[in-house]
Amino acid sequence: MATRDGTSPNPDTPVVRIRDLVFRRGDRTILDGVNIDIPKGGIVAFMGPSGVGKTTILRLISGQLRPDSGTVEINGHLISSMSDRELHHFRRNIGVLLQDGALFTDLTVFENIATPVREHTDLPEALVRRLVMSKLNAVGLGGIEYRMPHELSGGMARRVAFARAVVLDPDIMLYDEPMTGLDPIAVSTIRTLMRETNDALGQTSVVVSHNVTQVRQFADYCYIIASGRIAGEGNPEELAASIEPRVDQFMNGKVEGPIPFHYEPPGAPWGLLD
């Protein structure tokens, strides 16, 4: 897998290594024997229909969820067996941008971005301010540090959330539908910030997205998830040309195919889902 700048991360040393992963919710198996390698330095996207476990994978990588079986490793560290204290320390190097931004509604923009700095470091206030303002300027929003979240547009709020996610220059960035609900200019802004930040800091980025068009513009490698398993993987161009029925249906937006439109509850008699 080559990154967009032409460099090639070493495939023998994945930053994230998932093996034989099984995750269930009650009687329903969400992920069933999934194997994933994410090498250093690229942007890897997880795509697939709603409800197949894409966001669940992000939560397993960050340690918010534990697998029923199998392993999740980051840089050789077994995330799936860490204690809560170990996870708290380890998450210092993981940034997360949620779909809605998840800003703290009762804190100013400045305090939102400063929160992870204060939680994970003992920097003096002058350095905290310098760090926060540098990130705010980097996303083009210098001068709004005293606004409240309700005073921001959707695109501005997403950029503030981005600044908060990268304020500690994490090694790994996790993005959950980062462009959903944004206008075309905001989408282009977030996409550019993701790419430039990833390459400038040598990060590894993992993105969940439904937007096939956007993924084809920023991702180096993609996994398609369907029916609890990896239906296909490769760069966006390879997947767009795939003849695997589930990959072809999703990448090309076909109504007819093995991926059903209707949801079948467990035990329902209609046989809509495999």
**Partners of 165 in beta bridges:** none
- Give the domain range for residue 22: 16-251
pTM of the predicted structure, to 2 decimals:
0.82
Return the pLDDT at 266: 52
List the alpha helices (DSSP H) in the chain: 54-61, 84-90, 109-120, 125-138, 154-166, 184-201, 212-218, 236-240, 245-251
Domain assignment of residue 273, yes or no: no
For the chain, 274 residues long, give each residue's pLDDT as a single digit of tens. 544 444 444 445 789 999 999 999 888 889 999 999 998 988 999 988 877 888 999 999 988 899 999 999 998 889 878 888 888 888 888 888 887 668 888 999 999 999 989 988 889 999 999 999 999 998 888 888 899 999 998 888 888 998 999 998 899 999 998 888 878 888 888 888 889 889 988 899 999 988 888 888 889 999 999 888 898 899 888 888 888 888 888 887 777 766 765 455 555 444 433 3
Domain assignment of residue 157, yes or no: yes
> Where do we find the tokens 């966006």?
236
Domain assignment of residue 258, yes or no: no
Domain assignment of residue 8, yes or no: no
Return the pLDDT at 4: 47
Domain assignment of residue 160, yes or no: yes
Cα–Cα distance, 6 to 263 (Å, whole number): 41
Cα–Cα distance, 221 to 234 (Å, whole number): 5
Number of C-beta neighbours around residue 94 at 10 A? 21
Domain assignment of residue 5, yes or no: no
Closest by CA position to 54, among listed 259, 207, 265, 261: 207
Domain assignment of residue 104, yes or no: yes
CATH code of the domain containing 65: 3.40.50.300
Q: How many structural domains are present in the chain?
A: 1
Domain assignment of residue 89, yes or no: yes
